Chains A and B, each alone.
Chain A
Amino acid sequence: MNALRTLGYRTLMLIVHLGRMAVFLAEIGKNGLRPPFRIRRLVGEIFDVGVLSLAIVCLSGATVGAVLGLQGYNTLTRFGAEGSLGAVVGLTLVRELGPVLTALLVTGRAGSAMAAEIASMVTTEQLDGLRMMSIDPIDFVVTPKAFAMLLVMPMLNALFVLFAFFGGYVIGVELLGVDGGTYVSSLEDSITFSDDVAGTLIKSVVFGALVGLIATYRGYNSEPTSAGVSAATTGTVVTASVSILIFDYVITALWGV
């Protein structure tokens, strides 16, 4: 009986959290689209989320591209189809790996920090301090962070993909001897804007919104204790990662990108 009660409570709490998250999202949207626009705060957040994630994203991109080049070459060479290496590397990255891996990396690098920062502001009652000065913490703290995530994700995604193309080129062309022109032309011919590039941008914008929403929500609603800070950080990484993968499947299934 107790187990049943727990299950019911958990299910209800899940629905409650979804509802609160929707209201939270609406508040962020409202504050972001209405003056005052806190451009200064936004620039600071773009620095934290974007500039500081740049190194890990570019390095991971080049590595993933190199691995794809190597794996693709080893498989394709069995069929004598090394000429399609560019298409394999390009399509895999643009349609799938680019947006998903970028979002996972940014979740770990910046989403967790975002949640921890807001959660420790809750713990040290800084958000209450803002409220006492009649500054809405959602407007002042949360909105710039969420919007920075949304704006930065497509840019990091595009950079990740380009560095991965380069990584695949280095391995495939320089090391394994695929013709450079064949690699580039098979890559460029196989990728179209309407199917592939638009899809990668849609995915990364959705993932950016997801990570931004989850990180700020978990931080904002954390328990005001040090355990609450760590729970918010862990919860952000777990929830955001799983959501990214689920939404990735849904977007791919619905629009085939």
Chain B
Amino acid sequence: MQRSATRDLLVGAFVAAGLAAIGYLSIQVGGLSYKGEGGLTLYAVFEEVGGLKERAPVAIAGVTVGQVAKIELDDLLRARVTLDLDAGLELPADSSASVRTSGVLGDQFIALEPGGEDAVLASGDEIAYTENALSLERLIGKFVHDSGLEEE
């Protein structure tokens, strides 16, 4: 069997490029990262989350600091949202969470508004102040109702 250094070099380069491509797809594009224990998990209860979906971003002042891990119903039939946030985030205890929409028809995300208290939220705490998703249909309905257009 003939041994060709050029061929071996090409095969090596090919394998390196292939593995690099897989790695790039997984890490950069797929967002695979090692998340150790100690991430901040917070809960927020909303009466209406609208079109919020799991893995939607959570942002403070527009900067993404985590994502929505889970959306479920609680005992009182409200939406209980689990937020998976970066470890080491020190959020004042009176911070508020609201469901917002990026752009007019964009995806929904959760915006956190930091409060002013000295005490900070620890993992497992619930965010006390929440603002529901703005429902355009409901707004229009309310407007129609209030202005008495219905009676005409």
- Which residues of chain A have a CB within 8 Å of any CB of chain B? 40-41, 43-44, 46-47, 50-51, 54, 90, 94, 152, 154-156, 158-159, 161-162, 165, 187-188, 191-193, 196-198, 200-201
CB nearest to A42 among chain B residues: B11
Please determine whether B14 and A197 come into contact, CB atoms closer than 8 angstroms: no
Q: Min CB distance, B59 to chain A, in Å?
A: 13
Please determine whether A154 and B29 come into contact, CB atoms closer than 8 angstroms: no
Please determine whether B29 and A197 come into contact, CB atoms closer than 8 angstroms: yes
Cross-chain pairs A/B with CB under 8 angstroms, 23 sampled: A43-B7, A43-B11, A47-B10, A47-B11, A47-B14, A50-B14, A54-B14, A90-B29, A152-B18, A155-B15, A158-B25, A159-B17, A162-B24, A165-B29, A188-B31, A191-B29, A191-B31, A192-B31, A193-B32, A196-B30, A197-B25, A197-B29, A200-B25
CB nearest to A153 among chain B residues: B18
Query: Which one of B10, B18, B30 contacts A155 once the chains associate, using CB atoms below 8 Å?
Result: B18
Please determine whether A155 and B29 come into contact, CB atoms closer than 8 angstroms: no
Q: Helix, strand, loop or mixed for chain B's interface?
A: helix
Q: Which residues of B contact A187 (CB under 8 A)?
A: 29
Cα(A41)–Cα(B7), bound, Å: 12
Q: Which residues of A contact B18 (CB under 8 A)?
A: 50, 152, 154-156, 158-159
Query: Which one of B10, B11, B25 contacts A161 once the chains associate, using CB atoms below 8 Å?
Result: B25
Cα(A94)–Cα(B22), bound, Å: 11
- Which residues of chain B have a CB within 8 Å of any CB of chain A? 1, 3, 7-8, 10-11, 14-15, 17-19, 21-22, 24-26, 28-32, 55
Please determine whether A188 and B10 come into contact, CB atoms closer than 8 angstroms: no
Please determine whether B14 and A46 come into contact, CB atoms closer than 8 angstroms: yes
Q: Which residues of B contact A94 (CB under 8 A)?
A: 25, 29
Contacts known (A50-B14, A188-B28); A44 close to B21, Cβ less than 8 A = no
Cα(A81)–Cα(B49), bound, Å: 23
CB nearest to B19 among chain A residues: A155
Q: Which residues of B contact A47 (CB under 8 A)?
A: 7, 10-11, 14
Contacts known (A192-B55, A197-B26); A40 close to B14, Cβ less than 8 A = no
Please determine whether A51 and B10 come into contact, CB atoms closer than 8 angstroms: yes
Cα(A176)–Cα(B31), bound, Å: 27
CB nearest to A54 among chain B residues: B14
Please determine whether B26 and A193 come into contact, CB atoms closer than 8 angstroms: yes
CB nearest to B13 among chain A residues: A51
CB nearest to A191 among chain B residues: B29
CB nearest to B10 among chain A residues: A51
Q: Which residues of A contact B28 (CB under 8 A)?
A: 188
Cα(A127)–Cα(B86), bound, Å: 61
Cα(A74)–Cα(B3), bound, Å: 52
Cα(A21)–Cα(B110), bound, Å: 53
Please determine whether A201 and B14 come into contact, CB atoms closer than 8 angstroms: no
Cα(A210)–Cα(B80), bound, Å: 45
Cα(A7)–Cα(B25), bound, Å: 47
Q: Min CB distance, B38 to chain A, in Å?
A: 21
Cα(A50)–Cα(B8), bound, Å: 12
Q: Which residues of B contact A152 (CB under 8 A)?
A: 18
Q: Which residues of A contact B17 (CB under 8 A)?
A: 155, 159
CB nearest to A161 among chain B residues: B25
Most chain A Cβ neighbours within 10 Å, of B1, B7, B25:
B25
